[in-house]
Amino acid sequence: MTDARLEMPEMRDILSTRITDATEASRLSLTSTVNAQSYRIIDEIHSLREIHREAREHTSRIFANLQSRKGYFKGEVWDLAPGDIYLLRMEPHHHRHGYCTVESSNTVKLIRTYQPHIGNEEDVMKQLDHDIDVFVRPRHPNIAQVFGVCRSPNLPAIIFHGSMQVLVGEYLDNIPVQELIPFHIKFLRDIQVCLVLEPEG
């Protein structure tokens, strides 16, 4: 009976139409899904391009800002001008030590100044450069860290973080006797660390 119905021309046409409609509906559904997915993918690609462009612009701005920033010496410590440094008190020594404040910081700093005299300015600047290299490198809790440098011939100086440190001579004058030997042992270890970290030449 089923075979006889299929042989009827109108049943064949109905079946053919339904198959064609189902195929077309399936094709349209598939095309719609692919289009929707492709639009979503295209939108994501555009979004990623925009994010990439913004990141590139942001990186360029940061790089330009760092390039135009003139505040760092060797990329590590502040490069200060004499007008940025306000001397508070100086102690007379071969290298004068004292206390200062700096325009870009709100805390008192230790300062080591170098005394150029007529004819030895170049030697003083060489000594300053050498000392900067020596003091910038050590990262040790008992060695004062460099905050900044002033390479002006008018005020060659190294500025250190912190004002709690005192000169060794002052400290030794006030240290209790029972702490003298432990202090010297620790002091020698710290100096050895500094010597290991000092650049050659």
Residue 164 — very low, low, confident or very high, per pLDDT cuts 50/70/90? low
Q: How far is CA 29 from CA 25, 40, 58, 75, in A?
A: 6, 16, 43, 61
**Per the structure block, which two tokens stand in for 137?**
């490198």
Residue 184 — very low, low, confident or very high, per pLDDT cuts 50/70/90? confident
Q: What is the pLDDT of residues 131-160, one digit of tens each?
A: 888 888 777 666 678 888 998 888 899 988
Residue 38 — very low, low, confident or very high, per pLDDT cuts 50/70/90? confident
What is the pTM assigned to this prediction? Answer: 0.50
User: How many Å apart are CA 200 and CA 137, to the nearest integer?
Assistant: 12
Burial 84-95 (b: 16+ CB within 10 A, else e): bbeeeeeeeeee
3 state SS of 156:
coil
What is the per-residue pLDDT for 170? 72
